[in-house]
Amino acid sequence: MAISDEEKMGSVRSAIHLTIVGDNISDIADFTIEKYEFKNDTTLSSETREAGLAKIKDALWHRVEELKKRRMQILAEMFSLAETTLDEVVDKGK
């Protein structure tokens, strides 16, 4: 039974560790709030801070999902390039 391209692409290890990404997203959100407060010499209310953190995290996770989709597109392009390259080598050998 042959493995499909999609199955093989799905088995290619990801260099992204989502726990670390989540930690980084939290750090970025916290830093952004702190930077805003420092730049504007203000302290956000706890409600505004929590809303800001939640909205920032949602936006960043959305970006991560876009990047994961782009990664799959790049992998598909790489598999296609590999096949084309092999075809060129095989055709040269004929």
Query: Which parts of the chain fold into alpha helices (H)?
Result: 5-11, 18-39, 46-92
Give pLDDT, residue 14. 66
pLDDT at 87: 94
Report d(CA 82, CA 65) in Å as an integer: 26
pLDDT at 4: 73
Q: Cα 63–37–51 angle (5° rounding)?
A: 50
Find the angle CA(32)-CA(37)-CA(41) to the nearest 5 degrees: 150
Terminal CA-CA length for the chain: 28
List per-residue pLDDT tens for the chain, 94 residues long: 566 766 666 666 666 677 888 899 999 999 999 999 999 999 999 999 999 999 999 999 999 999 888 988 998 999 999 999 999 999 987 7
